[in-house]
Amino acid sequence: MKKHACAVGYPAHGMVVQDLEGKIEWELASKVKRETRILQTLAKLKLQTGSGRGKASVTVQQLVSAMHGEKLDAQVRSMAVEPFTEEVLKKLSQDGKVAFEVRGGQKRWYGIQPIEIRV
């Protein structure tokens, strides 16, 4: 829709989007922010474990805990945050930014590209 320079969006449900270009920009910026947060968290966890050369892979649950803490509602965590985080990880994997290994029957994710860590 961005390529076609549409000004107004008519979603299947909900309100008409009057500033479609602004909405698209906001959504894309949010996506980049989520991806960056995951990459930075993976890099930070690698530093914290002292795994300079190792992978320092983590489960989705461990990654979510590192990003959001342990106080998330259990249902929100398991039904929304963890599945969504895994989808973002799959996308980052397709982009060649993360990978996973299976250890002990669990999928464990790690970053494969250096990234600047914000403190």
Confidence band of 116 (pLDDT split at 50, 70, 90): low
Instruction: Give residue 104's domain range.
Output: 20-111
Q: Is residue 60 included in any domain, yes or no?
A: yes
Q: Is residue 13 included in any domain, yes or no?
A: no
Q: Is residue 117 included in any domain, yes or no?
A: no
Is the confidence at residue 79, as pLDDT, over 70?
Answer: yes
**pLDDT on residue 84:** 98
Domain containing residue 35: CATH number: 1.10.10.10
Within 10 A of 77 (CB to CB), how many other CB atoms are there? 18
Q: Is residue 29 included in any domain, yes or no?
A: yes
Q: Is residue 69 included in any domain, yes or no?
A: yes
Is the confidence at residue 88, as pLDDT, over 80?
Answer: yes
* Tokens 């509602």, residue located: 73
Q: Is residue 2 included in any domain, yes or no?
A: no
Q: Is residue 118 included in any domain, yes or no?
A: no
* Tokens 């829709």, residue located: 1
- Looking at the structure of the chain, the number of domains it has is 1
What are the tens digits of pLDDT across the range 3-28? 888 899 998 999 999 999 999 999 99
DSSP E strand boundaries for the chain: 98-103, 106-111
Q: Is residue 6 included in any domain, yes or no?
A: no
Cα within 13 Å of Cα(52), Cβ side: 0
